[in-house]
Structure 1
């Protein structure tokens, strides 16, 4: 299964999240297929996440500025969920994956799974979850299913907007679990 794992930490020990790691996995292999690092460049940049080092995370075969911009956007959206700690252990992470519910060849369901713990994502490390189902197309109508994802107590429209915006950005990566099917025939080969 393809998924994105996002973690954040305070690398400079200045009580600010200054590094966000994006790891794209294909299956349950312990090694990421593609990665991105978004971080601050100096003390005066606290929280700005200006510096980006990204692989080809949108899958177009080119490692370019578009990948960096997408990585930066995903990192900034992730930070709005406040699913991180500035103190060790940095064991909170977000797992994101997309599926094709209506089997039309396009992802329409994106799941966000908030984990705390070491190792591969599992039910034992799962703390909470959210999802967004896009109806007809990603830019159009949607149904967001979420709880208080940003930790500000009420479950409100802001929580839904955070989920939808992150899901839309994730879909721009093209990193999903949609399998292209070939036409089949009930008749055998001649």
Structure 2
């Protein structure tokens, strides 16, 4: 399975993430750190992810996001994009978007409180939508 791993870290100890790292994983291959060109394309995704407040103290990597698309119809367009927010090996919570009629528009957005503000609301759905939009730009 191919996915993107996003890791935010609070290296300064200020109580908020100040570093975002990205890794591409592909099947059984070793993870690939992104290049500087990739990083420029991922800036919007990183900024949106920082709003989710899912980060590690110091240089830890236990908290991270794995984002991947699925194309069961094999027509080349994703019908589902899944976001798994991990706490180590455990998925702490999930979000997903679905294109129900395979027209390129995601009609269904399933999310919990992805920005960790204590409420699952429209803001969370908008953050999921933005993360997916940016992910699809770089995975295309």
Question: Could you state the TM-score of these two structures normalised by the residue count of structure 1?
Answer: 0.65
Report how many residues are paired. 138
1:4-83 alignment runs, 5 A limit: 4-29=4-29, 31-35=30-34, 54=36, 63=37, 67-83=38-54
- Aligned partner of 1:110 among 67, 81, 87: 81
SS at match of 1:151: coil
Match of 2:66 among 95, 99, 123: 95
Structure 1 residues 23-54: Cα deviation after superposition (integer angstroms, max 9, x where no partner): 0010144x223425xxxxxxxxxxxxxxxxx2
Tell me, yes or no, if the aligned pair for 1:25 and 1:34 is still in contact at 8 Å: no
Q: What is the CA deviation profile of residues 125-162 of structure 1, one whole-angstrom value per residue up to 9, with x for unaligned ones?
A: 1111110113511xx34210111111112211111111
Q: Distance in 2 between matches of 1:84 and 1:141?
A: 27
1:88 Cα deviation from its structure 2 partner: 6.2
Structure having the higher Rg? 1
Contact kept, 8 Å, 1:100 with 1:108, in 2: the verdict is yes
In 2: Cα distance, 1:15 partner to 1:153 partner: 18
Higher helix share: 2
- Structure 1 alignment gaps of length 5 or more: 37-53, 55-62, 118-123, 176-190
Q: RMSD value over aligned CA atoms?
A: 2.1
